[in-house]
Amino acid sequence: MLIRRANERGNFDFGWLNTSHTFSFGHYYDPKFMGYESLRVINDDRVRAGAGFQTHGHQNMEIVSYVLEGALAHKDSMGNDGVIRPGEVQRMSAGTGVTHSEFNHDQENTTGFLQIWFLPAEQGTEPSYEQKAFSEDEKRGQLKLVASQNGRDGSVTIGQDVDMYAGLFDGAESASHQLSAQRKAWLHVARGSLQVNGQDLNQGDGVGFEAGATIELANGDKAEVLIFDMAPLD
């Protein structure tokens, strides 16, 4: 287990945005944490009331937004114009190029969300967008598949060999996830606390797992967890 504590991340407070970077991003550079296999970015963003990301562009990146609190308005050059709320997963494949904006229109409350990027399996694909909601019941005490390369089991489809799971754990609720001998994983504690393979983890902590590992989740306290089960890059 490679444990990355929340307080070890790069943190920046721009006034309108307080953001913590698990991996190197923007002005934050840590050669030991450039990503984990195809997982390139986990930014833990808190967007101030009435603020947001102005229109900007992306290319050749698989981008997943996972809202934890509040609401995030999204508008892009593909014609999508909507709102992402807690329990929803948004996937945007930037491909040959896309522009978009993300905004917290609430004038009183902060929006908290995870901005997650994956390197794509193929360059230069047609940009695309998808958004789906997953109920608390689907994630309560278990790991629910919310994104995958083939969109199986109702998950959003992502252009990389990644299975992304989300789970909610409290008290006696527990779950395990077995990696195959060919796949690695990264775990991120989105909120709350729990034990992972006997280690105490808190909000913002992350863990990397080598191929073939077993991941055991237990003793959660209002915990929300994401696991990224990935094929190693060549």
Q: DSSP readout, 77-111?
A: TTS-EEEE-TTEEEEEE-TT-EEEEEE---SSS-E
Q: What are phi and psi of 31, to 5 degrees?
A: -60, -20
Give the model's pLDDT for residue 65.
96
Give the model's pLDDT for residue 233.
87
Give the model's pLDDT for residue 38.
96
Give the model's pLDDT for residue 198.
95
Q: What is the pLDDT of residues 202-234, one digit of tens each?
A: 999 999 999 999 999 999 999 999 999 999 987
Identify the CA nearest to 211 among candidates 196, 187, 229.
229
Q: Write the single-letter amino acid at 234.
A: D
SS3 letters for 31-54?
Answer: CCCCCECCEEEEEEEEECCCCEEE
pTM: 0.95
Q: What is the pLDDT of residues 80-135, one digit of tens each?
A: 899 999 999 999 999 999 999 999 999 999 999 999 999 999 999 999 999 999 99
Q: What is the pLDDT of residues 49-77, one digit of tens each?
A: 999 899 899 999 999 999 999 999 999 99
- The encoded tokens of residue 149 equal 């390369």
Residue 170 reports pLDDT greater than 90:
yes
* Total length of the chain: 234
SS3 letters for 220-232?
Answer: EEEEEEEEEEECC
Average pLDDT value for residue range 157-166: 97
Structure letter (DSSP) for residue 233: P
Average pLDDT value for residue range 136-141: 97
Average pLDDT value for residue range 177-181: 96
Give the model's pLDDT for residue 234.
76
